């Protein structure tokens, strides 16, 4: 969380080159030396944390249904990679066929302390208790240990309530408030000061803010991470403005 470092956050893994939120995408993101692996987490019907973006499995697997209504055993039967080969034939690889929806535990067991984790509590109002399960799992693998570098794990959410619940578990874990429709203009400072009461930074869509917004956020004491930036030109622009990092699908294409 060094404000002097411009972070490259692998959005859903290396999701231009591999099927999002699969072990293939996370392994490639590590290989490409992303600063963070971004992991969206939801709970299966039997309350296991799984890595998937949508509330349903329809878009990124060969199945259909709501994640929260499916047992882990059902989710594990799905092919989470073949869709990518069909949609992006230029990036297709045989190894992507049959990729599975990973659990957060599987991701942590594979990478351990060798990577940094940027975890989103996805739709927590639809995943009651996700914060409790997340905190317990992070503790189980000692990823919140004070001996680790600050920011080994970052938690983000669009939900203020979810972040505040995480804060009740830990006073030190870095929290990032995602803003879909950021308040800009004269009222920006007031909103950013509200966020600063419980979070250390914001994550927001770069096309919905301006230079003054970044300046104000920094004056308030917030880090600014922007999504989703997939070109070096745009990354360079916002780095010059003062942003602290980007979420990107295209890790090689945003190196500056």
11 has catalytic annotation = yes
The active-site residue, picked from 21, 53, 225, 244, is 53
Q: Cα separation of 156 and 141, whole Å?
A: 19
The active-site residue, picked from 11, 21, 225, 244, is 11
Q: Cα separation of 130 and 220, whole Å?
A: 30
Cβ neighbours, 10 Å, residue 125: 9
Contact call for residues 116 and 35 (beta carbons, < 8 A): yes
Q: 7-254 falls under which CATH superfamily?
A: Phosphatidylinositol (PI) phosphodiesterase (3.20.20.190)
53 has catalytic annotation = yes
Q: Which contiguous run of DSSP H or E holds residue 175? A: strand 175-179
Give the pLDDT of the chain (256 residues) as one tens digit per residue: 788 899 999 999 999 999 999 999 999 999 999 999 999 999 999 999 999 999 999 999 999 999 999 999 999 999 999 999 999 999 999 999 999 999 999 999 999 999 999 999 999 998 899 999 999 999 999 999 989 999 999 999 999 999 999 999 999 999 999 999 999 999 999 999 999 999 999 999 999 999 999 999 999 999 999 999 999 999 999 999 999 999 999 999 998 8
């Amino acid at each position: 969380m060094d404000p002097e470092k411009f972070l490259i956050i692998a959005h859903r893994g290396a999701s231009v080159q591999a099927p999002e939120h699969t072990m293939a995408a996370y392994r490639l993101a590590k290989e490409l030396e992303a600063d963070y692996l971004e992991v969206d987490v939801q709970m299966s019907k039997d309350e296991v944390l799984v890595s998937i973006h949508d509330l349903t499995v329809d878009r990124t697997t060969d199945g259909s249904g709501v994640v929260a209504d499916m047992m882990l055993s059902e989710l594990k039967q799905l092919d989470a990679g073949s869709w990518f080969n069909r949609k992006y034939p230029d990036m297709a690889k045989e190894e992507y066929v049959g990729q599975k929806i990973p659990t957060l535990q599987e991701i942590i067991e594979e990478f351990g302390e060798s990577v940094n984790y940027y975890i989103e509590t996805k739709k927590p109002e639809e995943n009651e208790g996700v914060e409790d399960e997340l905190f317990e799992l992070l503790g189980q693998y000692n990823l919140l240990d004070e001996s680790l570098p600050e920011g080994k794990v970052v938690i983000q959410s669009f939900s203020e309530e979810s972040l505040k619940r995480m804060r009740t578990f830990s006073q030190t874990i870095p929290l990032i408030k995602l803003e879909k429709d950021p308040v800009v203009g004269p009222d920006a400072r007031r909103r950013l000061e509200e966020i600063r009461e419980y979070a250390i930074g914001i994550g927001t869509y770069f096309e919905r803010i301006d230079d003054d917004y970044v300046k104000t956020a920094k004056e308030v004491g917030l880090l600014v991470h922007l999504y989703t930036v997939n070109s070096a030109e745009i990354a360079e622009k916002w780095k010059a403005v003062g942003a602290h990092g980007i979420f990107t699908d295209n890790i090689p294409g945003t190196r500056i």
